[in-house]
Amino acid sequence: MFHVSRFVPDPDVFSPRPRVIRTRHAAVRQQQRSIPDIVVDGLLDFGQPSRTPDGRAWRWTFGKRGWARFSAFVGPAARQLDRYRHAYVITSDDDVVLTVAHGWR
């Protein structure tokens, strides 16, 4: 017999949010740039928002603390996702993902 424990998320680490809505442009760019869904979700959950220069959208990036929290949440798979540390997501004011890209430093 197997013992199955129920997963209870830590509210300080995991905050459930509605499903992400992506524009067709964002879906195409995400596929072209090979950025996995877990990175986009991680950016929106653990990333740091800032206004774009024109002030019409939000840019989500991983800061040091955000990346550390994301890595702790993902676990050992974070080593394989390290290449996406500088990726970013652009969202509208109503939280629709407009585009996804690599941020090269």
Residue 83 within a domain: yes
Residue 31 within a domain: yes
Which pair of structure tokens corresponds to residue 75? 């676990």
Each residue of 9-23: pLDDT tens digit?
A: 555 555 556 678 899
> Could you give the number of structural domains in the chain?
1
Q: What is the DSSP letter of 33?
A: T
Tell me how far the alpha carbon of residue 42 is from its chain's centroid.
Answer: 3
Q: Supply the pLDDT for residue 15.
A: 54
* Mean pLDDT rounded to a whole number for the chain: 86
Residue 35 within a domain: yes
Q: Supply the pLDDT for residue 1.
A: 47
Residue 37 within a domain: yes
Residue 4 within a domain: no
φ, ψ for residue 48, nearest 5 deg: -110, 120
Residue 59 within a domain: yes
Could you tell me the sign of the dihedral formed by the alpha carbons of 13, 11, 5, 36, in that order?
A: negative
Residue 11 within a domain: no
User: At a CB cut-off of 8 Å and minimum separation 6, what does 37 contact?
Assistant: 30
pTM: 0.80
Range of the domain at 63: 21-101
Q: What is the DSSP letter of 39?
A: H
Give the span between the Cα atoms of 2 and 76, in whole angstroms: 25
Residue 3 within a domain: no
